[in-house]
Amino acid sequence: MKSNRKIRKPISNKTKTLLLMLLPALLLFVLFNTIPLITGAFYSFTNYRGYGSYDFVGFRNFSDLFRDIRVGKSYLFTFKYAIAGTILVNVISLLLAMGLNSKIKFKSTLRGMYFLPNILGGLVVGYIFSFIFTYIIPTAAKALNIDFLSNSILASERWAWVGVLIVGVWQTVAMNTIIYISGLQTIPADIYEASAIDGAGKWCTFKKLTLPLLLPFISTNLILSTKNMLMVFDQIISLTKGGPAQSTESISYLIYRNGMEGGQFGFQSANAVVFFILIVTISVVQLVITSKKEEQL
């Protein structure tokens, strides 16, 4: 272990015990995170189909990725979904959190209610919403003569992603709301009293006080929701299976479909490597931007 080599002084008994306590976690992590990560990166340079023999193909998988229309479409969909979703989720959950944090009646019941979507499984929620989109909404729209909604939006190549987005937002808002509420509770009430006495307007107080003080929580929520929405899978499998015409195929779903079943193990490994690098880059950029903002305060 690294620490053994670097530190010259004899290791105390206490450190030995602590190392021993760390060992199970470290072993499991290396075995089921680092090794598969390296294996995945290794296969991305091969034409492995998931079985049989394979050859090294250099960077061909990566250059092919940028020419593959299906891969391009999946990136377009995933980013469209994640950007729209992250914005919607954070706006809605911040407003909900402010509402649920004020002195209102039934506060704890309402909080419990708004958290409910988070505990339900994405797959079953997807099936339930699938029925709403394909049956309830079109039937209601026909009765009310609304042409636009008289067919299932999940069957529309142009609008199916909105259906997936609604379900994703419906579930993700719950968790972010709780995080924002706990953030709001760290702000002492007398700050608001002071600003009210100083005659600050409500919008001004929100912009100059609430938002800056919430910044660490906003940063947590942004990173969490972006990452989770980029990895969307359950809703796709239950709502659209990537259709119609591959218009809602997310990156994770494509890697699963073609990598596991389509004989593209090597090619989709390259896709996964690019996806991994993108996620890390986006998270780091988000971290740097928000921590810069925090420093300015």
Partner 1 sequence: MSSEKYFVSKAPDIRIKPAKEIKNDKDGKSKILLTIVLILGCITILFPLYMTVIIALKSPSEMTNDIAGALSLPESFSLDNFAEAIRVTDFWHSLGNSLLITGTAIVLSLAIHSMAGYAIGRSMAKHKGFKFIYFYIVSGMFVPFAILMMPLVKETAVMQIDNMFGVILLYVVFYMPMNVMLYSGYLKNIPLAMEEAAEMDGASTWKTYWKIIFPMMKPMHATVAVLTALGTWNDVMTPLVIMSGSDKTTLPLAQLNFQTQFGTNYNLAFASYLLALIPILIFYIICQKQIIGGIANGAVKG
Site for partner 1 in 4-23 (CB under 8 A): 4, 6-7, 13-15, 17-19, 21-22
Nearest distance, CB of residue 132 and partner 1, angstroms: 7
Residue 108 token pair: 């704890």
Which residues have a Cβ under 8 Å from the Cβ of 253 and sit 6 or more positions away?
Answer: 74, 232, 233, 236, 237, 242
- Verify binding: residue 52, partner 1, rule CB under 8 A: no
- Verify binding: residue 86, partner 1, rule CB under 8 A: no
Which residue among 59, 76, 112, 285 contacts partner 1 (CB under 8 A)?
112
Q: Side chain identity at 189, as an amino acid letter?
A: A
- Verify binding: residue 69, partner 1, rule CB under 8 A: no
How far from each other are the two terminal CA atoms of the chain, in whole angstroms? 40
Nearest distance, CB of residue 234 and partner 1, angstroms: 5
Nearest distance, CB of residue 59 and partner 1, angstroms: 17
- Verify binding: residue 243, partner 1, rule CB under 8 A: no
Q: Catalogue the E-assigned strands of 94-171.
A: none
CA atoms within 13 A on the CB side of 275: 27
- Verify binding: residue 196, partner 1, rule CB under 8 A: yes
Tell me how crowded residue 175 is: count the other CB atoms within 10 A of its CB.
19
Judged by CB under 8 A, the stretch of 59-67, 154-162, 187-195, 289-297 that binds partner 1 is 187-195
Which residues have a Cβ under 8 Å from the Cβ of 198 and sit 6 or more positions away?
Answer: none
CB closer to partner 1 out of 59 and 131? 131
- Verify binding: residue 289, partner 1, rule CB under 8 A: no
In angstroms, rounded to a whole number, what is the distance separating the alpha carbons of residues 108 and 193?
Answer: 24
- Verify binding: residue 178, partner 1, rule CB under 8 A: yes
- Verify binding: residue 33, partner 1, rule CB under 8 A: yes
What mask of x and - would describe binding to partner 1 in positions 200 to 239, judged by CB under 8 A? --xx-xx---x------x--x------x--xx-xx--xx-
| Burial tier of 254 (Cβ tally within 10 Å: 0-12, 13-18, 19+) | buried
Which residue among 55, 106, 158, 297 contacts partner 1 (CB under 8 A)?
106
Residues 249-278 that bind partner 1 (CB under 8 A): 251-252, 255-256, 259-260, 265, 268-269, 272-273, 275-276
In angstroms, rounded to a whole number, what is the distance separating the alpha carbons of residues 223 and 286?
Answer: 7
Q: 175: closest CA among 238, 104, 93? A: 93
- Verify binding: residue 155, partner 1, rule CB under 8 A: no
